[in-house]
Amino acid sequence: MSEPLQTIRLSYAELAERLGISLEAAKQRVRRGGWRREQGNDGQVYTWAPEEALSVAPRSRTEPRDEVATEPAQSHDIATTALIDALQAATERADRADEIAREAITARGDAETHAAVAESKAEHAENEIGRLRQRYERAGITGRIIRFLSGA
The whole-angstrom separation of Cα 7 and Cα 19 is: 15
Tens of pLDDT, residue by residue, the chain (152 residues): 455 568 889 999 998 898 889 999 999 999 998 999 999 899 899 999 888 888 765 555 555 555 445 556 677 788 888 888 888 889 899 988 988 988 989 889 889 999 999 999 999 999 988 887 777 666 677 777 777 888 76
pLDDT the model gives residue 57: 56
Spatial contact of 25 and 16, defined as CB atoms under 8 Å apart:
yes
DSSP 58-126: PPPTTS---HHHHHHHHHHHHHHHHHHHHHHHHHHHHHHHHHHHHHHHHHHHHHHHHHHHHHHHHHHHH
Which one, of 26, 92, 84, 27, lies nearest residue 59 by Cα? 26
pTM over 0.95: no
Contacts of 20 (CB under 8 A, 6+ apart): 57, 58, 59, 60, 61
The whole-angstrom separation of Cα 25 and Cα 4 is: 26
Contacts of 57 (CB under 8 A, 6+ apart): 20
The whole-angstrom separation of Cα 12 and Cα 27 is: 6
Spatial contact of 142 and 149, defined as CB atoms under 8 Å apart:
no
